[in-house]
Amino acid sequence: MTPEAPPAQDTRDARARYTIFAVLWVTVLATLLWRPATTLAPSPPTRSLYDAIEAIPREKLVIISASWDVGTRGENGPQTAAIIEHLFRTGHKFAIFGWVAPPGPLLVEMIARDLARKYHKRYGVDWVNWGFKTGTDAMIMGLAKNIPAIIRQDMHGTPITKLPAMKGVKDHRDVGMVIEITGSGTLLSWIQFWQGVYGTNIGYCPTGVMVPDAFPFLDAKQIRGLLKGLAGAAEYENLLRTHGDASVRMTAQSASHLVIILLIILGNIAFFRRGKRQA
Amino acid sequence: MLQILHNAWPWICKAFQPVHGTRLLVYVCGTTAAWILLFWVLHLLPARQKRGLIVACTFLAGLFYSLEFFLPAKASWLPGGKNPLSDLVVPMGNAVSVVFAFTLALGLINLCLVHGRSLAQAKPGWHNSLAFFLALISMTVFGLWQSYVKDGPQRTLFGLSGASVHRVDDVLFSGLFQPLGATMFSILAFYIASAAFRAFRVRTAEAAFMMAAAFVVMLGQVPVGYWLTHWLPMPEHNPLGYLRFEVLANWILNNWSMAAIRAIEFGIAVGALAMALRIWLSLERGSFFEVREGPR
Amino acid sequence: MPYYIIVIGAVATLGIYSILYRENAVFRLFEHIFIGLGAGYGFYFTITSVLDPQWWTPMVKEGKWYWVVAMLVGAMFYLIYNRRLVWMSRLVMVALMGLFAGLTFKGFITAYVPWILASFKPIVLARKPYIHITNLLSFVTLISVMSYFFFSVEQRARVLRGSAQLGRWMAMVAFGAIFGSAVMGRMSLFIDRVAFLLFDFLRLAK
Amino acid sequence: MIRIEHPNWFQTVLWFVVSATIVGTILTARRGRQLFVRRIPGLTAIDEAMGRATEMGRPVLFTFGLLGIGIVAMQALAILSHIARQAARYGIRLIVPVADVPLYTIAEEVIKEAYTAEGKPEAFRPEDIRFLSDQQFAYAAGVIGLMHREKVASVFYFGYFYAESLLLAETGQVVGAVQVAGTPATTQIPFFIVATDYTIIGDEYYAGSAYLSREPTLMGSLVGQDIGKLILLVMILLGTAFAVGVELLPSIFAQNWMAKLLGG
C-alpha cells in the first residue's frame, strides 16, 4: 500500500479501463447487430420448473408475480416472455400481479399482449392482470386467505367478479403455482407466508446475481424450479423450441463473457511478468 | 381485573364501531387531543421513567409477533379456542406501512433545504439544483394529477383530460426516470469487467478458489462454454461428463457454493437473532437508546 | 411507446454513460434530475398507493376513526429535530424495531429450520460407490465454513485452525460463483440498454 | 417439504435455548467476566486506513449503503463511532452521505458524541453529514460525485448494500482510496472482495462492533452467538449421522430422529 500512487500507474490504469470499456461496447454492438441465435441445453433447475408447470392441474390459476422494472428488464423480461409462452401453450389461466415494483404489472402486460395475439388468447378469459397492490408482507398473508377481498378489481378497473378467468378463485387452494420473477430479494415473503404455511409451489426467476443464493432454497425443496437469469430464459426457450430475445442475446452474452475471461487471463500474464521483472 | 375487562368488552367494541359525518370529526379531533395530552404528561416524567417507558413499549411491540407465532393456531386453553393475535397480523402490517408512509416528508424537507440553499446563494452548480426542483415538482404534480383523472375517463382537472396528463407523466416516467435508473444499473457491466481484470490475480489460494469458481460459472451459463466441452460424454454415461462446463457449473452452484452460502447464512441468522434479542430486551447500549434531560 | 419518449430516453441513457469517460457536467445534470424525479415519484407514489387506500379510505370513507392514531405515531418521527422532544421519536423508532425483532424470531425458525433439515444427507451409502462424494463435499463445506465464523475461541488448535482456513477457501468458492453469475446478470442489463439504443432509438431492423 | 405456521415444541425449545444462551452470556459479561475475541483481519485495517488519511491530509468517507434504521444499522453505528473518534483524534475530515433520514439524524448525533468524547467538539462539521437520496441509483450517483470531488483517502463501507456496492467500490478504487468493507448482504461480498482492500465477510460483520468497542454487552453476545452456532452445528452433525445410520443400519435406525424432532 503506497501512500501516493505514482502518476504513471494512474494513467496506465486509466488507459486499461478505457480499453476495456471500448472492447465491451464493440463486442455487444457487433453481436447484437449480427444477431446469430444460439441455443442452450436446459440445466436441471430449468427443467424442473418446466416439469412443475406442466404438472399443474388445468383448473388452477398461476400467479405471475412481476417484481421487476426497467432496471432489470434485460434479464427478467425474457424470463417472463418464456414463462407466459409456456402457460399459453399449456392453457393454464394466469394472473399478473405486482407488489414490489409498481411498473411491473404494466411491463408484463405488454409482453403478455404480444404473445396473446400469437396464441389467440383473450384477456379476462385466459389471463388477467391484477395490477399493483400495496401492503407487502401483510397483503401477501391476506391474499392467501382471501384473494377477491384483496384484489377487488383488475389493473384496468374492472371488478374481478366480471372476469371469467377469476371465476371460482377464492384462496391459496385455487392457485397452482406462484412464479416470482424478480430483481430483488422478494422470495422469502412467498416462502414464509405461502409455501411454508400452505405448501404452495413456488417457481423462481431471479437475476443472475441472486442465482447462487437461490440454490439453498432449491435444495430444501422450498422452490420447485429456477431460471438462472438470462441463461435460464434461453434454456427455457430451448425447451419450448422457440427463438426469443433470450436466445439472440445469449450470443452477445457469450461474447462478453469471453472478453472478461480473456481480460482475467491477460491481467494474470501481466501480473506475473511484472512480478518477475521486479524480482 | 379480567372481570372488569369482560364487562367493559361490549362497550369497547361499540366505541370502535365505524362512525360518520360530524361524529367522525369529533372522534378524530378528540383522539388527537387526547394523544397530545398524554404525551405532554409523559414529557413531564423524569428521564429514568421515560427510559422505562421506552423499554416497556419495545418489549410489548416485540411480544406481538412472537406470541402470534409461538402460540398454537388452535388450543382449548386459548381465549375463543384459537390464536387471538393471528387475525391482527394483517391490520398490524398495514398500520406499520402507514406509519412509515407518514415519514415521507422527512427526506423531502432535507433535500429541499440543501438544494434551496444552493439556489438562493447561487452557489456553483446552482443550475443543477434548479433542475432538481423542476424534476421534483413536475413529477409530483403530474403524478398526483394523473392518479386523480384516472379514477374516471370523463374526469378532467383544470380543463386537461386524462390522456394529455398521461402524456406528460409518460415523458417524465418512461422517458426519463426509468432509462436513468436502468442505465445507472447497467454501468455495472463495465465496472465488473474492469474489477475482474484488476483484481482476479492468482496471488493466494483464496483468490484462486474464487477465480476458478467464477470462471466455471461464467462459462457454464453461456453457449460458448457448452460448445467448448460438448465433445465430452454426458455425465450419465461417463464420470468425465462432470467436466462439461454447464454440468460442472450447475454442480458447483447446487452443492458446493450452496453449502457455503447456507453456512454463512446460519451465522448471519444467529447474529441477527442476538441483535433482535438485545433490542427487544433493551440490553443494547449507546447514545441511540439513552434518554437525556432537556437540551445540552 | 411514442417516438419522442424514446428519444428523450436515449439522451438520458447517453448522458449517464458519459460517466464512463469521466465525471462531467452532463452527468451531474442528469444526476440531479434523477434525484428530483426519484423524490417526486416516492412522494406521489406513497400518497396514491399507501396513504390514500390504506389510511384515508378506511378512516374517512369507512368511518374507522381510530386510524388517526397511525398518523399521530408517524408524526412523532418529526420530533427528531427538536432537542427537547426527541425522546418521543426514539420511542417510536425503538418500538418499531422491537416489532421487527419479533419478526426476526419468527424468521429464525421458518426460514432456517428447513435448511437445517435439508442438510441431513447421507455421506456414506450402503451400496456402491459407498461414499457419496457430492454429499460429502457439501457436508465438509458446511461444517468448515461454519467453523470459520467462531470468534470467541482462539484458533490455535490445529484442527480448528485447519478447518477455519478451509472454511475461508470454501466461502471463496461461493463468492466466486456469485461473481460469475453476476457477470451474466450485469451484462444482460447492458445488452438490454444497447438493444434499446439500436432497435428502439436508431430503429435498426430487428 | 416442511410447513411451519406455528412452531412445534422442539422448534420452540431450540429458539428458547439459543436465545437464553445469548442473553445469559450478555449478563455474565456485564458482571465483569473477561471474554476473548479472536483477531478479525479486516477490522485492524480500519486503523491502517485512518493512518493513511492522516499522512495524506485528505478526508475519509463512510457509507451505510441503502441501510435504514433497524437491526443491521446498530452495528454500523458502533463502527462509525469508532472511526469518528479516530478522525477527531487525528484531525481527519469525515464525510458521511446517508440514504435514510432517521438514520441520518442518528449518525449525526453519534459522530458529534465521538468528537465530544475526544475533547474536540469544535472540530465537528455538521455539513459533512449529508442526506443524499433514498433512491438507490440516485444515491449511488451522489456518492460517486462526492468521491471524485473530495479526493478521499479512505472509504469505509459498513451497512447493507445492493447493486450499488460495485459502483461505489470501483469508483473508490479509481480515485485511489484505501477501502474497507463489511456487510451481511452475501450477494454483494464478492464485489467488495475484488474492489476493496479489506473485506469483512458474513458474520464477521456482527462480530465487528464487539471487537472494536470491547463493550461487555457485545462481547457477551458474541460468545452467546458462538454457542448458538455450535448448537446448530451439533444438530447438523447428529442429523447427518442419523441419515448415515438410516442408510447403513435401517434395522436400528427406523428414521432420522433428528429430522423428526425438527418437524421434517
**In A, which residues are within 8 Å of D178 by CB distance?**
1
> Rounded distance, CA D221 to CA B260, Å?
24
CA distance A154 to A169: 14
Same domain, C28 and C109: no
Please state, in angstroms and rounded to a whole number, the distance separating the CA atoms of residues B176 and A70: 12
Q: Which chains are within 8 Å of B by 3+ CB pairs?
A: A, C, D
Q: HSE-up of A218 (CA within 13 Å, CB side)?
A: 29
- Cell reading at D194: 475484488
pLDDT at residue number B160: 65
Measured distance CA(C16)–CA(A265) in Å, rounded? 30
Chain A, nearest residue to D178 by Cα: A1
By percentage, how much of chain D surpasses pLDDT 70? 100
| C-alpha–C-alpha distance, residues D75 and D110, integer Å | 12
Contact A208 C194 (CB under 8 A): no
Nearest to D186 among A1, A10, A213 (CB): A213
Hey, where are the domains in chain A?
44-242, 248-279
Crossing angle of helices C86-118 and D9-30, in 10° steps, is 130
Which pLDDT band, with edges at 50, 70 and 90, does A2 fall under?
Answer: very low
- For residues D22-45, give the mean pLDDT: 88
Query: Is the model's pLDDT at A36 over the cut of 80?
Result: no
- Tell me chain C's radius of gyration from C-alpha atoms: 28
pLDDT at position B295 is 37
ipTM of the assembly?
0.91
Beta-carbon contacts of C157 under 8 Å, excluding residues fewer than 6 positions away, are none
Quick one: which H or E segment has residue D178? strand D178-182
Interface contact D233-C143, CB threshold 8 A: yes
Is there a single domain that holds both residue C92 and residue C139? Answer: no
pLDDT of residue B293: 46
Would you say the C-alpha torsion B41, B45, B49, B52 has a positive or negative sign?
positive
Closest CA to D147 of D168, D126, D132: D168
Q: Are D69 and D160 in contact (CB under 8 A)?
A: no
**pLDDT tens, position by position, for chain B (296 residues)?**
667 777 887 888 888 888 888 999 999 999 999 999 999 999 998 888 998 999 999 999 999 989 999 998 888 888 878 888 888 888 888 888 888 888 878 878 888 888 898 899 988 889 999 999 999 999 999 888 877 776 555 566 666 666 777 788 888 988 999 999 899 999 999 999 999 888 888 888 889 999 999 999 999 988 888 888 888 888 888 888 888 999 999 999 999 999 999 999 999 999 989 989 998 998 876 656 665 544 33
User: Count of CB atoms within 10 A of residue B54's CB?
Assistant: 23
Average pLDDT of chain C, as a whole number:
89
Chain C residues in contact with A216 by the CB 8 A cut-off are 115, 118
Chains that touch A (3 or more CB pairs under 8 A): B, C, D
The reported pTM is 0.91
C-alpha C133/C-alpha C124 separation (Å) is: 9
| pLDDT reported for residue B236 | 81
Cβ of residue B128 closer than 8 Å to a chain C Cβ: yes
Query: Fold for domain D41-206?
Result: Rossmann fold (3.40.50)
Is residue C24's pLDDT more than 80? yes
Q: What is the pLDDT of residue C206?
A: 57
Query: What percent of chain D lies above the pLDDT cut of 90?
Result: 52
CATH number assigned to the domain covering A44-242:
3.40.50
* Interchain pair A256, C204: CB under 8 A: no
The full set of domain ranges for chain D reads 18-36+217-258, 41-206
Is D129 in contact with D104 (CB distance < 8 Å)? yes
CB contact under 8 A, C187 and A253: yes
A196: its cell numbers: 411454508
- Residue B173 near residue C38, CB atoms below 8 Å: no
C80 to chain D: which residues are within 8 Å by CB? 102, 105
pLDDT digits (tens, 9 = 90+) for D59-115: 999 999 988 877 788 888 889 999 999 999 999 999 999 988 778 878 888 898 899
Q: Which three cell numbers stand for residue A46?
A: 430449468
The predicted pLDDT at position A1 comes to 34
pLDDT of residue A5: 42
- Enumerate long-range contacts of B11-20, CB under 8 Å, 24 or more apart: B16/C66, B18/C62, B18/C63, B18/C64, B18/C65, B19/C63, B19/C65, B20/C63
On whether the CB atoms of residues D129 and D107 are closer than 8 A, the answer is yes
Residues of chain A positioned with their CB less than 8 A from the CB of D170 = none
Cell numbers found for residue A22: 471500448
Q: Tell me which of A69 and D16 has the higher pLDDT.
A: D16
Nearest chain C residue (CA) to A25 = C194
Distance from CA of A260 to the nearest CA of B (A): 6
pLDDT at residue B193 in the model: 93
Q: Are C89 and C49 in the same domain?
A: no
Per DSSP, D70 falls in state: S
Nearest residue of D to residue A72, measured between CA atoms = D163
CA distance A27 to B190: 12
Cβ contact C75–B102 (<8 Å): yes
Q: Which residue has the cell 463493550?
A: D215
Q: Check B252 against C173: CB less than 8 A apart.
A: yes
Domain that holds residue C101: 66-118
How close C89 comes to chain A (CA, Å)?
Answer: 24
Residue at B36: amino acid letter: I
Yes or no, beta carbons of D101 and B107 under 8 Å apart:
yes
Helix (H) or strand (E) holding A218, with range, is helix A211-219
At residue D24, φ and ψ (nearest 5 deg) are -60, -45
Residue B74: partners with Cβ closer than 8 Å, 6 or more residues away = B81, B82, B83
Rounded mean pLDDT, D114-124:
91
Transcribe chain C into DSSP letters.
--HHHHHHHHHHHHHHHGGGT---HHHHHHHHHHHHHHHHHHHHHHIIIIIIIIIIIIIIIS--GGGHHHHHHHHGGGGGG-TTTHHHHHHHHHHHHHHHHHHHHHHHHHHHHHHHHHT---SB-SSTTSB-HHHHHHHHHHHHHHHHT--SS-TTSHHHHHHHHHHHHHHHHHHHHHHHHHHHHHHHHHHHHHHIIIIIIS----
Express each pLDDT in C83-126 by its tens digit.
Answer: 788 889 889 888 888 888 888 898 889 889 999 999 999 998 88
pLDDT tens, D131-177? 888 788 888 988 988 898 889 999 999 999 999 999 999 999 989 99
Distance (Å, rounded) from C-alpha A117 to C-alpha A129? 16
How big is the A-B interface in CB pairs under 8 Å?
Answer: 138
Q: Which residue of A has its CA nearest to D50?
A: A3
> Which residue of A70, A228, A258 is in closest CB contact with B182?
A70
Q: How many CA atoms lie within 13 A of D136 on its CB side?
A: 18
Is D196 in contact with D157 (CB distance < 8 Å)?
Answer: yes
